[in-house]
């Protein structure tokens, strides 16, 4: 399955590395990354692909929660289909 991981917050050194490491540890393949600074807020979006979503996602979310607590970043994992259905006809 494919999920979009969004990371929003203050820009800091090593964000991409930390998030990528978590993904790699959970065997999550990063297909595409794009990042931007919108109204002084750092925004990074990753399109990812992985097997066994139902078992991986809870663990991935737990890892990101820990990272959020350390860095103050807001990290979300949302299925690609949500965006496709909301923004594409």
Return d(Cα 67, Cα 20) in angstroms, integer.
12
What is the sign of the dihedral through the CA atoms of 85, 46, 24 and 9? negative
Site for another protein, residues 11 to 30, rule: CB under 8 A:
none
Give the one residue of 13, 50, 57, 63 binding another protein; rule: CB under 8 A: 57
Residue 67 in contact with another protein, rule: CB under 8 A: no
Name the one range near another protein by CB under 8 A: 10-18, 20-28, 56-64, 65-73: 56-64
Residue 58 in contact with another protein, rule: CB under 8 A: yes
Cα separation values, 31 from 10, 38, 89, Å: 24, 23, 23
Classify residue 14 by its DSSP letter: T
Paired sense of beta strands 41-49 and 29-38, if any: antiparallel
**Residue ranges in contact with another protein by CB under 8 A:** 1, 3-4, 6, 8, 32, 34, 36, 38, 43, 45, 47, 53-54, 57-58, 61, 74, 76-87
């Amino acid at each position: 399955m494919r999920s979009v991981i969004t990371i929003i917050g203050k820009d800091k050194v090593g964000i991409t590395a930390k998030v990528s490491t978590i993904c790699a540890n959970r065997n999550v393949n990063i297909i595409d990354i794009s990042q931007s600074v919108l109204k002084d807020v750092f925004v990074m979006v990753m399109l990812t692909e992985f097997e066994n979503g139902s078992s991986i996602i809870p663990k991935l979310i737990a890892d990101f929660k820990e990272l959020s607590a350390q860095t103050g970043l807001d990290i979300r994992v949302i299925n690609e289909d949500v965006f496709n259905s909301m923004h594409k006809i």
